[in-house]
Amino acid sequence: MGEQDAMTQVEPYVILGNGIAGVTAAETLRSESPGAAIAMIASDSLPVYYRPALKDYLAGRVGEEKLRARPATFYQEQQLYYLADRVVGINPQQHIVQLQSGRQLPYARLLLANGAQPRRLACPGGELTGVTTLRSVADYQTVLARLPAVRHVVVVGGGTLALETVESLRQRQYEVTHVIRGSTLWPVALDTTASDLVLQQEMRDGVTVRLNEEIAEITGERGQVNGVVTTGGARIACQMVIAAIGIEPNLDCIKHSGIACGRGVRVDPLLRTNLPDIYAAGDVVETVDPRTGRARVIGQWYPAVQQGRAAAYSMLDLLDMRRPFHASAFYNATFLYGLDFAAVGLTNMQGSQFQDIVAEPRPRRYRKVTLYNGVPIGMLALGERREALAFKRAIDYSVSLAPVASSLFADDFSLTNWLDRQGVPPPIMGGSKKDTMPTMKDR
C-alpha cells in the first residue's frame, strides 16, 4: 500500500488557510470525526483573529490581546497537523497539494479557505509611506504607530470597512476626509435613502465626504505622504491615506488547477467545487444568489463562519440539504455610524420586476423589503431591527408576502406570528447536520 493509500485509509482532511472559515471547518471536522487526520496549511502560525474587533482596536477601545479568536494552542487542542508553508499548486487527479517548500501533501478531501487580499490603490504615489490597506493585525499596527504624527487622514472606499475606519478615527479626534467613488455608500446593500441616512451621520460628526470621486494621485515629500489629488481636481493635505476598496480572493494557487473561478472560487450548494473532493469556504468563495444569478464576493465574518461549518459537514457527507444554507441570504447585523443595521439577501435591486415595500418614514429610521413576484428576496433595516429575523425566515423559505404586503410594517402587525400561523420553519442561520451519520466510506 502506497503512502497516499495509507493516508486515504485514515481519511485525511487538508485545510488551506487558518482564518475563521478554515478554523471553523477544522473544529467541526474534529467534533464529528475525532480520529480523523486533519492538516492545516498557513503561512501565519497564529490562528484566526476576531476581525470585527479590529475597528475597536483602531479606536483604542480594545487591546491587541483581545483580538485573537482562538489561542496559540489551538492546533494542539484540536489535534491538528499544522504546516507553516504555502500551497503553490494543486494536482486534483493525484489528490496532492504542492507546497512552496517542495513537499507534496496528499489529501482525501481538500478545503480551500485561504481567504483574500485587500485591493490596493492603482495611482501614482501608492508606494509612499503612510499609504496603507486594512486587512491584517499588522496593517492596523502600522496605522496606530503612525497616528501620533498625523493630523488629517483620507479614507477611500464606500463599504463597511471604510465606514468603520472613518468612525474609529473620528472617535480619536482626527480630521477625516472620506472619498467615495460612487454616489452612495455600500451600493451592494444600501439604496440611496439608506446611504443618505448614514452619510448624514458622518457629516454630522465632522467628516468631509466627497462623492463620485477617486484618488488620481498621492503626493509626497521625502517618501512620506503629504496629500492627495482627486479626480475632481481637489487637493487635500493629509499625512495618511487608507484604502478600504474591497478584497480579491487568493486564487494564485487555485486558478491553474482546473478549479472553476470567477472573481472567486465557484461552489455548488454543498460548497463543492467543480472537481471531486475539493471544497471551498469563506472569503475565497464567489457566491451566487439562486433566484437572480447575481454573483459576488461577500467578504464578511458571519458567512465565512457558516460556510466553514457547512463545508465541513459536506466533506463528512453530513450536510442536511433539506434546509440549504445560501450565503447570499445571510443575516448581517451591525451598526453603521451608530445606526442599528440589519440586512438579508438582495437589498438594492433595480428593475420593474422588483417591488420595494417601505415603512412609514421616521427620523433616522428606514426599513424596506424587496419582493419578486410577491416573494421576498431582501430586507434592509436601518435605525430599527425589529422583526429582521422574521423577514429572513420568509426569504429562506420563499414565502409569498403578497397577502400581507400592505401590513408588513404596521405597528399592529407581527410577521413572526403570521409566519407561525403559516407553519413556516425557523430561519436558516447556517449549514446544519443530517440526522443520519454516513461516512466517506459509506459512499
Question: For residue range 113-122, what is the model confidence (pLDDT) as tens digits?
Answer: 999 999 999 9
374-408 burial string, b = 16+ CB within 10 Å, else e?
Answer: ebbbbbbbbbbebbbbbbbbbbbbebebeebeeeb
| Residue-level pLDDT at 439 | 45
**Continuous H helices in 329-405:** 388-396
pLDDT band (50, 70, 90) for residue 432: confident
Residues of the chain with pLDDT > 70: what percent? 95
pLDDT at 288: 83
pLDDT value of position 322: 80
pLDDT band at residue 50 under the 50/70/90 scheme: very high
Residue 162: is its pLDDT beyond 50?
yes
In sequence order, which residues have a C-beta less than 8 Å from that of residue 350 and are 6 or more positions away?
none
112 grid coordinates: 480551500
Among 175-189, 315-329, 428-442, where is mean pLDDT lowest?
428-442
Contacts 24+ apart (CB under 8 A), 133-138: 133/242, 133/243, 133/244, 134/54, 134/161, 134/165, 134/242, 134/243, 134/244, 135/247, 137/49, 137/54, 137/57, 137/64, 137/67
Please check the confidence at residue 11 and state whether its pLDDT lies above 60.
no
**pLDDT value of position 293:** 77
Model confidence pLDDT, tens digit, residues 62-113: 999 899 999 989 999 999 999 999 999 999 999 999 999 999 999 999 999 9
Residue 184: DSSP 8-state: S
Would the pLDDT of 8 be above 60?
A: no
Per-residue pLDDT, 442? 39
- pLDDT at residue 143 is higher than 60: yes
pLDDT in tens, 244-290: 999 999 999 998 999 999 999 999 989 999 999 999 999 999 988 77
pLDDT average, residue stretch 349-372: 94
**Residue bearing cell 416573494:** 375
- Strands ordered across the beta sheet of 215-221: 215-221, 224-230, 235-237
The residue ranges of every structural domain in the chain are 3-117+248-327, 120-245, 338-422
* pLDDT of res. 46: 86
Answer yes or no: same fold for 3-117+248-327 and 120-245. yes
Distance CA(29)–CA(69), nearest Å, equals 18
Contact 19, 111 (CB under 8 A): no
Superfamily of the domain at 120-245: FAD/NAD(P)-binding domain (3.50.50.60)
Q: Which CATH number fits domain 338-422: 3.30.390.30, 3.40.605.10, 3.90.230.10, 3.40.1160.10?
A: 3.30.390.30
Q: What CATH homologous superfamily does 3-117+248-327 map to?
A: FAD/NAD(P)-binding domain (3.50.50.60)
How far apart CA 347 and CA 380 sit, in angstroms, is 6
User: Would you say the C-alpha torsion 148, 149, 150, 156 has a positive or negative sign?
Assistant: negative
- Helices 20-32 and 301-315 cross at an angle (nearest 10°) of 30
Contact 188, 294 (CB under 8 A): no
* Closest residue by Cα to residue 419 from 440, 443, 398: 398
Q: For position 10, what pLDDT does the model report? A: 41
